[in-house]
Amino acid sequence: MNEQNLTWHQGRITKDARTQLNGHRGLCIWLTGLSGAGKSTLANRLEEELYRRGIHTYLLDGDNVRHGLCADLGFSEEDRKENIRRVAHVAGLFVDSGVVVLSALISPFESDREHARAQFEDGEFVEVYVDCPVDVCAARDPKGLYDKAKRGIISNFTGISAPYEPPAFADVTVNTALQSVDECVAKVMKSILPKLGVNDEQAILEECEA
């Protein structure tokens, strides 16, 4: 359908009103990195920490969205771009509703991640680079995907037969080969809490640093 025939219907409940109701602002935490780097593990731990503190959250995992929202997409460069576009749009809806959404996807291309960032207002998007050497990721290989990629069973596999462009200016960088999950969680929490505007921000920051 031609976009000229579509109208955006603005609801009566504003983003500020939702923020007041929730007790915190909405935010997109975008975790990027190689398969096996620990994105999903970190995202789940972050969600647990936020939920424990009364923060409304939702996790968009790269594998999960391909079961429904992006089930029709493969792993070509164009399909990967469309995958990121869809997830960024959905994440934007969550943030508009006042929710903290954690998006854990490989998202290998810098241009696609910048397109995702552009969907949000200033301060609503935090790019977390989950750094880990490809040889460490391959040694972990929790899903057996690196082995299949090396044997040619899987094509266009990021880090083996397809490129990954590390973020040039990530908001937060953690290295899961050198840092524990707890250390990574604390580092990300320290970065995002000031953006949420929670009432007990200082107490939570002190807890994260303990």
39 labeled binding residue: yes
Residue 103: active-site member: no
Q: Distance between CA atoms of 137 and 100, rounded to whole angstroms?
A: 28
Residue 37 known to bind ligand: yes
Cα-atom radius of gyration of the chain, to the nearest Å?
Answer: 18
Q: Is 26 annotated as a binding residue?
A: no
Supply φ then ψ for residue 117, to 5 degrees: -60, -35
For residue 15, what are its two tokens?
């983003």
* Residue of 97, 107, 111, 155 marked active site: 107
Q: Is 36 annotated as a binding residue?
A: yes
How many CB atoms lie under 10 A from the CB of residue 21?
11
Residue of 199, 191, 200 whose CA lies nearest to 29: 191
Q: Is there a binding annotation on residue 105?
A: no
User: Is residue 33 marked as binding?
Assistant: yes
CB atoms within 10 A of CB 171: 17
For residues 40 and 23, give the distance between their C-alpha atoms in angstroms, rounded to a whole number.
26
98 marked ligand binding residue = no
**Binding-site residue set for ATP:** 33-40
What residues are designated binding site? 33-40
Hey, which residues are catalytic here? 107
